Amino acid sequence: QSALTQPPSASGSPGQSVTISCTGTSSDVGGYNYVSWYQQHPGKAPKLMIYEVSKRPSGVPERFSGSKSGNTASLTVSGLQAEDEADYYCSSYAGSNSFGGVFGGGTKLTVL
Amino acid sequence: EVQLVDSGGGLVQPGGSLRLSCAASGFSFSTFWMSWVRQAPGKGLEWVANIKQDGSEKYYVDSVKGRFTISRDNAKNSLFLQMNSLRAEDTAVYYCARGGYNFGYWGQGTLVTVSS
């Protein structure tokens, strides 16, 4: 069982917006502004899409955005494109509970 | 261009050992925390271990404490993971990643299979 809870699946049609949630506790998501989101295509290494809740690394499209409220973080993908179909994982710093952070179980995003 | 190249995986019997390596290039290796993250077949991501820039601090997930050792050679821009007393549940793709808990770059992964 993963430390952070994500829905196993999400879907949307091209052009639509989809939001994926990531629920933790006050010891991780709620306690720090160090939530990250990763995209992973089949057979590939994960790619950082969002860090520190809402910051986008260089090269990540503006269609990807992140937010947090209390113990729940969210990733929103706007203007869905076929290439957005992938697994998405959230992670959060967790202090002394886990110095490398904790991950969610992952969400499979399907573009219909 | 940042590059992380993982190597050293393979098939090993339960109780055996393996040493994973990660060759880094394209950035100042000695100024970053580094980590190993694993992914069991069909499963999610799990942080395994990380190490401070100068090697003075190392942290591990509980399930590998006392069995795995992370180390680095800043002169050779390399990261290592010595894995001893391997168990079937250690079977996974192991990724080298830049960062301590926020992983900006990842290696391509190396598969470790623990089976008799």
Query: Do residue B100 and residue A104 have CB atoms under 8 angstroms apart?
Result: no
> Has residue B65 got a pLDDT over 90?
yes
Amino acid A95: pLDDT: 85
Using CA atoms, how far residue B108 sits from A52, B10, B87, B111, in Å, is 24, 15, 23, 10
Residues of chain A with Cβ-Cβ distance to B3 below 8 Å are none
Q: Are B31 and B93 in contact (CB under 8 A)?
A: no
Percent of chain A scored above 90 by pLDDT? 90
Mean pLDDT of A31-37: 96
Query: Do residue A103 and residue B104 have CB atoms under 8 angstroms apart?
Result: no
Mean pLDDT of B35-62: 96
Convert the pLDDT of each residue in A82-109 to its tens digit: 999 999 999 999 987 778 889 999 999 9
> Has residue A1 got a pLDDT over 80?
no
Query: Do residue A45 and residue B109 have CB atoms under 8 angstroms apart?
Result: yes
Residues of chain B with Cβ-Cβ distance to A101 below 8 Å are 47, 101-102
Query: Do residue A100 and residue B50 have CB atoms under 8 angstroms apart?
Result: yes
Could you tell me the pLDDT band of residue A54, with boundaries at 50, 70 and 90?
very high
Nearest partner of A89 among A25, A7, A17, A30, judged by Cα: A7
Residues A6 and B5: their CA atoms lie apart, in Å, by 30
Residues B61 and B39: their CA atoms lie apart, in Å, by 14
Percent of chain B scored above 70 by pLDDT? 100
Convert the pLDDT of each residue in B50-64 to its tens digit: 999 999 999 999 999
> Cα distance from A30 to chain B (closest Cα, Å)?
16
Using CA atoms, how far residue A35 sits from A66, A75, A103, in Å, is 9, 10, 10
Q: Are A36 and B103 in contact (CB under 8 A)?
A: yes
Is A39 within 8 Å of chain B by CB? no
> Has residue B93 got a pLDDT over 80?
yes
Mean pLDDT of A34-55: 97
